[in-house]
Structure formats: C-alpha cells, structure tokens
Chain A
Amino acid sequence: MAISSRHKSRTRRRAVTAPVTPPRTGGAGGSKSAGRGTRSVIEFRDVSKLYAGDVGLERASFSIQRGEFVFLVGSTGSGKSTVMRLLIKELEPTDGRISVAGHDLGSIARKRVPYFRRNVGVVFQDFKLLPNRTVYDNVAYALKVTGGTRREIRAKVPDVLRLTGLSTKLHNLPTQLSGGEQQRVSIARAFVNHPPLLLADEPTGNLDPDTSIDIMRLLYRINRTGTTVLVATHDQQMVDKMRRRVLELSRGRIVRDEVAGRYTRDETTRDLAKRLRAPSKPPPGVE
C-alpha cells in the first residue's frame, strides 16, 4: 500500500513538472508542450462549486484551445472569480472535472500544487505587487521563489520588461508608477516564466479606458507568442471591440459561448490597438 502510493506520487510529479521545463530552456514560446496529447489548455466538465449551500458555479462545461484569447464576462457574483480560483487550484470543485494544460487538477497532490502553478500566470485587478521592491525585483521575485538561478534571472527579467514596455522603469518602486504601469509589472511577473496559460482577473478594473486598451494590447501581444489568455472582465465595451471568444456566466451557469464578431487571427497588435481606439461603432467592413 505504502509502496504503491509512493510510486503513484512519483509518476504524478513527472507529469506535473514536465511541461515547465521546455519554456525555461527554450526561452520564448512555451506553447509547444501545453497540450500533451489534447489541444485544449483548459477543460471544464460538469464543474460545480457550492459555497456553504450557495451556488458558485453550476455544471459548467467548456474547453479552451491552445493559443485562444477568451473573455469571461458576467456581473459581480456570477462565478467569474470562482472559475479563476478553480483554475489555479485555490479552490476545489464540489463536483466535476477540471484539467489544465493536460493535468487533471483533482489528481494533483496538495504538495505538488506549487509546481502546477508555475504553468499558470495570474494577473489581478489590484496588481498584488510588493510595495517595497523595485520593478525589476518584483519580476525577479517570481523567478527567485521558484528556484531560478541568478543567470536565468539576469537573462529573463530584462527580456520580459522590454516586452511589457517597462525598460525605463527598472529601478522605480510600484508607488512611483501609474496604474497602467503597475499592471504591466504584474503582467511581466506573471509571464516571466513563459507559462502556457495566462489568467487575468479584471486586469483593467482599476484603469481608465485608454490605459485599458494598452493593457489589452499587451495581453494580445502575449497571446500572439502562443500563450493561451483568459480574461475575466465586466467591461462590455472592451469585449465588444476586441471581438474575441466570449464565455458569459450568470448565477454560476454558462449562458453564452461565442465569438463576438468576426476577427482575423493574425491581426497585429498595432491593428488591434487602432481598432480599439476607433469610435465605438466602427463602420461595417472595416477590419
């Protein structure tokens, strides 16, 4: 009994850590190994979550493919955050099965959860930056606590800060930055490990419309590197303009799953930004 369970945990460990390594050694990309057989990065099958009797999520089923950019919308209390927290295994579903990047979340041992989380970057509305550390240190911190070597940190952090447009703010403290810049730092931190999946929970909730567009553009740029991006938001206008796949939740149920408007997959970030900044009702035919 003891031997068999030990054996099981060893195979599990291999399964969890395997996808982490390729993006580390390969640098950019990170999408190559995300699927592990299937192409879906997120798979919800009849997932329910009850909070002391209240419904948080009710028999939700959907799947998100590798490289997709998906919005999760719904009013407050509709279950958006529940989905997010289930995805990083901060909550356990009451019922149903969730798999992320090829791992069945139910079979990941508590001790292995940290290793699983390295496959998922998370961005929050309130940034969750460490106030007494510089921009550089905030991003490097994510690598440090996951056992990154000094050389790795020196190579990766400037890279990701360049990608997020923060190269000139390396040594500023978060309090010296604008809201948009702080959110960029938090995105840089989430992406520095090049996870196959990036979750953003209301990333533009605290930002003005113009800054929000910049953040969306950045998330799209990350999406273009092959990373799957899931954004929870209630900014309906932004969702309409972005014209990406939308999952709508209402009282814990999925009530809509569709692509809002047509869009070309290969749209450049510059085109996207131009389109987003255009007046809210673009003439038909403009793509």
Chain B
Amino acid sequence: MRIGFFLREAVRATRRSSASSFAALATVLVTMLMLGVFIPIVQATNGAANTVRSRVEVDVYFKAGATTADEARVRRKISQIPHVKRIVFVSKLAALKQQEKTDPAAYKLLGTNPLPDTFQVVPTNPQYVLSIRDALTPTRADGKPGMIDPSVATVSDKKTDTKKILQVTKLVTITAAILTVLLVLASVLLIANTIRLSLYSRRREVEVMKLVGATDWFIRWPFVIEGVVVGAAGAALALVVLAVTKVFVLDPLASSWTLIATPKTISFVALVGVLMGAGVLVSAVGSGLSLRRFLRV
C-alpha cells in the first residue's frame, strides 16, 4: 500500500515534469553508454599490456647468414651468464609458422621469410632482465654497446614495446576516467535539478503533507523514487543501445578483427548489473542532493 502510494506519486510527478525528466534521462543515457563502452575498452587495453608485461625475456636475433656452429657457440656463451633459466631456440621456420597463425594473409603476401633465427633467453626472475641484456651486449672499447658474438644482429628486452603499450593504456584509461567523471557529474546535477523542479511544482503538496503530519521520509520517498526511476530508465535505454550495437555491429566484426574478440572483457550480464547499479546510484545521489538542500522539513 505504502510502496504503491510512493510509486504512483513518483510516476505522476515524472509525467508532469516530462521536459526536465527527459533531459536528465538523456544525460544518464549518454553517461551509461560511455561507461558501457569504456569498461570493455579499458579492460582490453589493460589485458594487452599485461600479456606483454608477463612475457619477460630477452630475445637474441641472429644475422641472416648465421650458421649452426655460430648458434652453438652463442648458446654456450649465454649459458655462462648468471641467472639464466632457460634458452629456447626458435628457428626461422618456427617463427614464421607462429606469426602466420595470427595474420596468415599478410605473411602469404610477403612471400619470403623475413624472420631471423632467435634465442629466447628467460631469466630466473624478471628483475634480472637488465643484467642479462647487459651481459649480452658488453661495452666495446669505444664505449658503445657491442654484441656478445659477431653473428648476433640485435638484442631486445621488449622494454620499448612494453613502454609503448603501457603509455597507450594509460592514456585510454585516463581519458575514459575523466570523461566518465564529467558525465556522472552532469547526470547528478541534472537529476538534482529535475528533483528541484519537481519539488517546486509540488510545494503545495509538500506543505499539506507537513501540515497533516507526514514524516520527513514519507515526504522524501516519492522524490527519491522519481529520481531513481529516471536514472534506471536511462540505464535501461543505454543497455538496449549497447546490446543492439553488440549484436549487429561488434559480433560480425569480431570474426575478422582480432582485437575485439581476443581480450577477455566483462560479460554482458555483469555489464547490465554495473550500469543499472551506477544509474540508480547516480540518480539517488542527485535527488538526495536536492532534498537535503530544499526539503528541510
């Protein structure tokens, strides 16, 4: 009976102040859309960065003309370096096969195999990556870093790759966070404004309620529910838009574009929960803001 009363009052109010309710609803919709897009994107970029970071190893690339004897000599030299756990030999052919899996079309176009023979040197602990790399590139007489063996072309610890990916991830995360915070703020304020207008248009009712002895929370509930209804409606609409986009745009693309498909991202069910929760929370805060300031009962 009571809950029914509150709900009826809230819906009545929403209908009466439809213009401001619509503005608040639209803002919540945009905010929730942004959240719904950003959460998977941030997760995907973070995931990519983490896989790179976990692959701590030093790669030793041979020159094109390196012989088996060269490679045996280099292997002996590497195994004398402290803290080396494992040395994995990846031949030109094996490397090509591995790369072809990720993008067969591109490597078929290439025709020849551009990849060199490689030793992947795995340290006993990630912290030794730098010392191993230094040992592989001893300083020459002229002060510049040289190579452990003339048959070695380059030595890479993937530091630069990791750095680049981490930078991109950071940028994406920060941009997403700033945009989300701004939009959440706008939503809160617009909902607060909607509730304030609703309070104003129903000040007579509030006055009567106070006179006949309605408790503070009895007066407040319809307004809180009004805000929450607007917020939940915005979130629900955003979810519909996201679902439609996923089914009709993302899923067809996923088969041809690996970045969308591969990283593990939030499941749609969890996303529904997060967005609905955020929508309701945002609107509750918004209406609470107005009620605290304008309904000193």
Known: A147-B2, A149-B1. A130 touches B205 (CB 8 A): yes
Contact across chains for A130 and B204 when beta carbons are under 8 A apart: yes
Contact across chains for A88 and B1 when beta carbons are under 8 A apart: no
**What distance in Å separates the Cβ of A210 from its nearest Cβ neighbour in chain B?**
28
Contact across chains for A142 and B2 when beta carbons are under 8 A apart: no
> Within residues 171 to 216 of chain B, which ones have a CB less than 8 A from any CB in chain A?
204-205, 207-216
**What distance in Å separates the Cβ of A36 from its nearest Cβ neighbour in chain B?**
18
Residues of B within 8 A of A147 (CB): 2, 218
A89-126 vs B, CB cutoff 8 Å, 1 = contact: the mask equals 00000000000000000000001001111100010000
The answer to whether A145 has its CB under 8 Å from any CB of chain B is yes
> Within residues 166 to 203 of chain A, which ones have a CB less than 8 A from any CB in chain B?
189-190, 193
Closest chain A residue to B209, Cβ basis: A145
The docked-state distance in angstroms from the alpha carbon of A128 to that of B207 is 8
The docked-state distance in angstroms from the alpha carbon of A196 to that of B241 is 58
> Within residues 211 to 232 of chain B, which ones have a CB less than 8 A from any CB in chain A?
211-216, 218-219
The answer to whether A44 has its CB under 8 Å from any CB of chain B is no
The docked-state distance in angstroms from the alpha carbon of A141 to that of B213 is 11
The tally of residues in B whose CB lies under 8 Å from a CB in A reads 18
Contact across chains for B213 and A118 when beta carbons are under 8 A apart: yes
The docked-state distance in angstroms from the alpha carbon of A147 to that of B212 is 11
Contact across chains for B212 and A189 when beta carbons are under 8 A apart: yes
Contact across chains for B216 and A114 when beta carbons are under 8 A apart: yes
The answer to whether B248 has its CB under 8 Å from any CB of chain A is no
**What distance in Å separates the Cβ of B12 from its nearest Cβ neighbour in chain A?**
9
Q: Secondary structure at chain B's binding surface: helix, strand, loop or mixed?
A: helix
The tally of residues in A whose CB lies under 8 Å from a CB in B reads 22
Residues of B within 8 A of A122 (CB): 211
**What distance in Å separates the Cβ of B222 from its nearest Cβ neighbour in chain A?**
10
The docked-state distance in angstroms from the alpha carbon of A88 to that of B1 is 28
**What distance in Å separates the Cβ of A175 from its nearest Cβ neighbour in chain B?**
14
**What distance in Å separates the Cβ of A83 from its nearest Cβ neighbour in chain B?**
16
The docked-state distance in angstroms from the alpha carbon of A147 to that of B66 is 91
The docked-state distance in angstroms from the alpha carbon of A45 to that of B49 is 77
Residues of A within 8 A of B2 (CB): 147
Residues of A within 8 A of B205 (CB): 130
> Within residues 113 to 163 of chain A, which ones have a CB less than 8 A from any CB in chain B?
114-118, 122, 128, 130-131, 141-142, 144-147, 149-150
Contact across chains for B211 and A128 when beta carbons are under 8 A apart: yes
Q: Which 5 A-B pairs have the closest CB atoms?
A: A117-B213, A145-B214, A118-B213, A142-B212, A114-B215
Residues of chain A touching chain B, judged by Cβ–Cβ distance below 8 Å, are 88, 111, 114-118, 122, 128, 130-131, 141-142, 144-147, 149-150, 189-190, 193
Could you list 25 examples of A-B contacts with CB < 8 Å? A88-B211, A111-B216, A114-B210, A114-B216, A114-B218, A115-B213, A115-B215, A117-B211, A117-B212, A118-B213, A122-B211, A128-B204, A128-B208, A128-B211, A141-B208, A141-B212, A142-B208, A144-B5, A145-B212, A145-B214, A145-B218, A146-B212, A146-B213, A147-B218, A149-B1
